[in-house]
Amino acid sequence: MKALHMITFILVIVGGLNWLLAAFGYDLGMYLGAESSITKAIYILIGLSAIYLLFTHKKDCKACAGGMSA
């Protein structure tokens, strides 16, 4: 499960960086072809990764599971 967590974490980071770049006019999907099947598959994997982390983050994250306060 650690490998799945790391893969989903990396994909969510890539998605977040893509949103940052999109705000400045650079969308990584445009370089792969905005309507290509590969781009659509990557976006689906990033979205599914975000959903996975949404539901599993608290038990996987040492800071969140330990009840640390800010």
Predicted local confidence at residue 70, as pLDDT: 46
Domain borders along the chain are 2-60
Q: What is the pTM of this model?
A: 0.67
Residue 13 in tokens:
């980071």
Predicted local confidence at residue 67, as pLDDT: 54
66-to-3, 45, 69 alpha-carbon distances in Å: 21, 29, 9
Residue 51 in tokens:
């959903």
In this structure, what DSSP letter does residue 40 have?
H
- Per-residue model confidence as pLDDT tens for the chain (70 residues): 678 888 888 889 888 888 888 888 787 777 766 677 877 788 888 888 888 888 887 777 776 666 555 4
Q: Are 29 and 17 in contact (CB under 8 A)?
A: no
